[in-house]
């Protein structure tokens, strides 16, 4: 009986890891016959777990949505993975940190001692990265509305907000009618949420900052999914020069024209920067840092011709940094004249 109960729990765990299992494959994983597998499936059903199966010799099995969440069975690796995910969850969604802490506490209470010991051994402290920006967390209702349209494949009507997230009113110079979007993918990059969509009005692919959208009432209108403009949607967002971004709030903010394609610069530019495509393998990069020397150092990493550097403080920092590196190349060096330049 103990072996049967353990196998039933293992079966439940396997069903939770895939959308659908083939009967022979599932039986092989459990080390049982197909007849025993069918008996274990009936045991799960008797416990209230909704398992859907297809008929025939090569039946398939999957968990169906049920009114009651079935019990979760986690092994050590899964428990540690969930623990780390909850502890390092991004704080880009309003209220997520508190919800993650409560979820972690709930898991810890029901874990057996050996799993809890593994989780306790992976306690971590997250520290804001140098490039983390100071945007306010996104409203979870907005993420849910856009995500639901993506999942269902429904047309999304949304207004584009100003950088400060205010809504332009009709008659104001920057007012635009709501966009009609076919949302295909949600992408989280550099702590910001983006939606890759096909804009019916512009008849082209666009990338919108989700926190800059104000979704209107759900349309319920389905759309036929189009082939994406890139095989890797994450890379498409990273390398796209126009993501609806504005520079993050920094103590120093500057810009320069780089002799590189916008896609290349957009791929490697820090989060919170803006890349403007100027054509002919040129682009303008707008970015910030805690010092002018910091911006100058980032520009140097692109290893290309740099021009139209603004403002004057950034030009001075470039000159000062050049002098420092020249001195460093001779093996002499000298203390910087202004560490905060």
How does the average pLDDT of the chain come out, rounded?
Answer: 81
In a domain, 145, yes or no: yes
In a domain, 43, yes or no: yes
CA–CA separation, 177 and 231 (whole Å) = 31
- Give the end of a domain, one of 236, 262, 294: 236
- Give the end of a domain, one of 202, 236, 270: 236
What local confidence, expressed as pLDDT, does residue 185 receive?
Answer: 93
With 50 as the cut, is the pLDDT of residue 221 above it?
yes
Is the model's pTM score more than 0.85?
no
Does one domain contain both 145 and 231? yes
Name the pLDDT band for 134 (thresholds 50, 70, 90): very low
What's the total number of domains in the chain? 4
With 70 as the cut, is the pLDDT of residue 335 above it?
no
Q: What is the pLDDT of residues 19-51, one digit of tens each?
A: 788 888 888 888 888 888 888 888 888 877 888
In a domain, 134, yes or no: no
With 90 as the cut, is the pLDDT of residue 69 above it?
no
Residue 70 near residue 49, CB atoms below 8 Å: yes
Does one domain contain both 267 and 226? no
In a domain, 15, yes or no: yes
What local confidence, expressed as pLDDT, does residue 89 receive?
Answer: 63
The better pLDDT of the pair 38, 259 is held by 259
CA–CA separation, 340 and 285 (whole Å) = 22
Residues 241-260 have a mean pLDDT of: 81
Residue 184 near residue 225, CB atoms below 8 Å: yes
For residue 273, the domain's CATH number is 3.30.70.250
Does one domain contain both 222 and 305? no
Does one domain contain both 144 and 229? yes
Does one domain contain both 26 and 55? yes
Q: What is the pLDDT of residues 264-316, one digit of tens each?
A: 888 788 767 888 888 889 999 998 888 999 999 999 999 999 999 999 999 99
C-alpha separations of 172 from 167, 168, 208, 223 in Å: 10, 6, 21, 32
For residue 47, the domain's CATH number is 1.10.10.10
In a domain, 129, yes or no: no
Q: Taking CA 10 as the corner, what is the angle to CA 6 and CA 15, rounded to the nearest 5 degrees?
A: 150
In a domain, 68, yes or no: no
Does one domain contain both 147 and 187? yes
CA–CA separation, 215 and 219 (whole Å) = 10
Does one domain contain both 56 and 80? no
Q: Percentage of the chain surpassing pLDDT 70?
A: 81
Identify the top-confidence range among 88-92, 117-121, 197-201, 333-337: 197-201
With 80 as the cut, is the pLDDT of residue 73 above it?
no
Does one domain contain both 26 and 101? no
Q: Find the domain containing 161 and state its range.
A: 140-236
In a domain, 22, yes or no: yes
The better pLDDT of the pair 166, 129 is held by 166
Task: Tokens for 25, please give them.
Answer: 């494959």
With 50 as the cut, is the pLDDT of residue 1 above it?
no
Does one domain contain both 144 and 214? yes
In a domain, 270, yes or no: yes
């Amino acid at each position: 009986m103990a072996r049967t109960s353990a196998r039933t729990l293992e079966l439940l765990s396997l069903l939770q890891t895939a959308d659908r299992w083939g009967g022979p494959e599932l039986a092989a994983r459990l080390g049982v016959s197909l007849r025993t597998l069918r008996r274990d499936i009936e045991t799960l059903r008797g416990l209230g777990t909704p398992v859907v199966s297809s008929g025939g010799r090569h039946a398939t099995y999957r968990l169906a949505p049920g009114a009651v969440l079935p019990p979760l069975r986690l092994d050590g690796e899964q428990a540690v993975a969930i623990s780390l995910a909850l502890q390092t969850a991004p704080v880009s969604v309003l209220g997520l940190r508190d919800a993650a802490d409560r979820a972690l506490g709930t898991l810890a209470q029901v874990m057996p001692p050996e799993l809890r010991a593994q989780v306790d051994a992976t306690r971590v402290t997250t520290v804001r990265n140098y490039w983390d920006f100071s945007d306010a967390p996104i409203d979870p209702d907005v993420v849910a509305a856009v995500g639901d349209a993506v999942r269902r494949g429904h047309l999304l009507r949304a207004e584009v907000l100003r950088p400060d997230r205010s809504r332009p009113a009709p008659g104001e110079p920057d007012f635009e009618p709501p966009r009609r979007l076919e949302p295909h993918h949600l992408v989280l990059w550099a702590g910001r949420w983006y939606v890759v969509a096909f804009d019916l009005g512009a008849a082209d692919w666009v990338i919108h900052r989700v926190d800059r959208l104000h979704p209107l009432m759900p349309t319920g209108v389905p759309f036929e999914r189009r082939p994406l403009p890139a095989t890797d949607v994450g890379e498409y967002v990273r390398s796209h020069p126009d993501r609806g971004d504005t520079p993050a709030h920094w103590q120093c903010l500057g810009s320069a024209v780089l002799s590189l394609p916008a896609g290349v610069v957009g791929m490697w530019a820090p989060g919170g920067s803006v890349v403007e495509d100027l054509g002919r393998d040129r682009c303008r990069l707008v970015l910030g840092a805690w010092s002018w020397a910091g911006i100058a150092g980032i520009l140097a990493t692109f290893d290309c011709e740099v021009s139209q550097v603004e403002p004057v403080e950034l030009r001075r920092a470039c000159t000062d940094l050049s002098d420092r590196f020249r001195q460093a190349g001779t093996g002499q060096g000298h203390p910087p004249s202004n560490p905060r330049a």
